[in-house]
Amino acid sequence: MSLTNSQYDQIMRIYEQRQIDNEHRLREHYREAYARIPSLKEVDQSISSLGMDKARRLLEGDLDALASLKQELARLTAKKQRLLTDAGFPADYLERSYTCPDCRDTGYIGTEKCHCFRKAVTDLLYLQSNLQEILEQENFSTFSTDYYSANHIDPVTGRSAKEAMQTALKTCRAFADHFSERFENLLLYGDTGVGKTFLSHCIAREVMNAGFSVIYFTAAGLFDIFAKCVFGRRSEEDEETLDHIYNCDLLIIDDLGTELSNSFTVSQLFVCLNERILRKKSTIISTNLALEDIQEIYSERTFSRISSNYILLRLTGDDIRIQKKLLNLGGTKDAATH
Ligand SMILES: [Zn+2]
């Protein structure tokens, strides 16, 4: 992913701030521990002078002395930890702690950007606070199949809404759990208001928490950006947005079919989905359209890309939003599963 200089600086400032906070926290811990445990400072001084001694012996090549120094150092370190725990502190209270231990809050592992850097980029660019709020509420722990009827039978598959949702939930969980090792795509399609967007939110949250970059768009929002990039005067920012759309670890396109489609949106969708398949980057699409409609509206070649590269999950049922509302108004679960 490419960034403008000012965006890059903004992220590096976050890392600098983290390092400053770490340093500050460590000093604060020392101050507190020294105040409460008078003998601790002495032990620390012995440890640091032993450390210097060790370095000198190492230079002199005195290996015998080195072994006994090491032993003494281990003994003092254990003593220090015991002093801390006896006084009610955690044993590692005087060690540095990092938000990301992998890069020690520098953003880099050697010359490579750390995984947390990639996440910082999407946090900066795309995680509008409203999505974060939604993800607090809509995640796997809050998802319930109780709302789905065992009696509502899908005429196409012969399965109940409940069965279909249980299968979908399992597939979505596996998708999120194996995200790092598998290249998979999902098409969630079927009736309106049966939880397709909710499911994509569940996955988004898990994948984001695992440190991957996730971009979420409604189809209308996505096509707006395409139009801006093709017809408008492309700014550096637009270029980057497009680049993120093609390269982010997971792209979620919500509510495909609600945008105004034309030959332009049709060809842009193909390019986008095709690029992501070539780059082995996962995509989730949710839509109220039936498969035949997707084929008809978005062309045969787009449909064939989807049908051969995506897991297709068909969801049906009564409108869950209505059912939930009924429950909130004081109904019972039985009312929802009638
Ligand atoms: Zn890191």
Question: How far, in Å, is the centroid of ligand 1 from the Cα of 114?
Answer: 5
Looking at the domain assignment, is residue 116 inside a domain?
Answer: no
| Residue 327 pLDDT level (bands cut at 50, 70, 90) | low
State pLDDT tens for residues 22-47. 999 999 999 999 999 999 999 999 99
Looking at the domain assignment, is residue 115 inside a domain?
Answer: no
Closest by Cα among 247, 320, 250, 255 to 294: 255
> Which CATH number covers residue 147?
3.40.50.300
Mean pLDDT along residues 4-8: 72
Domain's final residue, options 109, 139, 167: 109
Question: How far, in Å, is the centroid of ligand 1 from the Cα of 207?
Answer: 16
Question: How far, in Å, is the centroid of ligand 1 from the Cα of 251?
Answer: 22
Q: Does 221 share its domain with 268?
A: yes
Q: Does 276 share its domain with 132?
A: yes
Domain's final residue, options 58, 74, 109: 109
Domain's final residue, options 109, 144, 161: 109
The model scores a pTM over 0.75: no
**Angle (deg, nearest 10), helices 300-309 and 291-298:** 140
Q: Does 51 share its domain with 157?
A: no
Looking at the domain assignment, is residue 101 inside a domain?
Answer: yes
| Residue 321 pLDDT level (bands cut at 50, 70, 90) | low
3-state secondary structure 101-159: CCCCCCCEECCEECHHHHHHHHHHHCCCHHHHHHHHHCCCCCCCHHHCCCCCECCCCCC
Question: How far, in Å, is the centroid of ligand 1 from the Cα of 85?
Answer: 29
Question: How far, in Å, is the centroid of ligand 1 from the Cα of 214?
Answer: 17
Residue 130 pLDDT = 52
State pLDDT tens for residues 35-90. 999 999 999 999 999 888 888 888 888 777 788 888 899 999 999 999 999 999 99
pLDDT of 236 above 70: no
Q: What is the C-alpha to C-alpha distance for residues 12 and 123, in angstroms, rounded to an integer? A: 13
Question: How far, in Å, is the centroid of ligand 1 from the Cα of 130?
Answer: 25
Question: How far, in Å, is the centroid of ligand 1 from the Cα of 95?
Answer: 18
Residue 254 pLDDT = 92
Enumerate the β-bridge partners of residue 286. Answer: 188
Question: How far, in Å, is the centroid of ligand 1 from the Cα of 116?
Answer: 4
Question: How far, in Å, is the centroid of ligand 1 from the Cα of 18?
Answer: 11
DSSP letter at 254? E
- Domain limits for position 271: 126-337
Question: How far, in Å, is the centroid of ligand 1 from the Cα of 115?
Answer: 6
Residue 232: C-alpha distances to residues 4, 183, 225, 245, 283 (Å): 20, 33, 10, 18, 26
Looking at the domain assignment, is residue 224 inside a domain?
Answer: yes
Q: Which residues surround ligand 1, an ion (CB under 5 A)?
A: 100, 102-103, 114, 116
Contacts for 34 with CB less than 8 Å, ≥ 6 apart = 40, 41
Mean confidence (pLDDT) of the chain = 85
Helix (H) or strand (E) segment spanning residue 47: helix 40-60
Question: How far, in Å, is the centroid of ligand 1 from the Cα of 208?
Answer: 14
Question: How far, in Å, is the centroid of ligand 1 from the Cα of 11?
Answer: 12
Q: Does 288 share its domain with 143?
A: yes
Q: What is the C-alpha to C-alpha distance for residues 27 and 317, in angstroms, rounded to an integer? A: 59
Q: Does 330 share its domain with 224?
A: yes
Mean pLDDT along residues 317-328: 61
Domain count, the chain: 2
Token pair 């398949």 is found at: 277
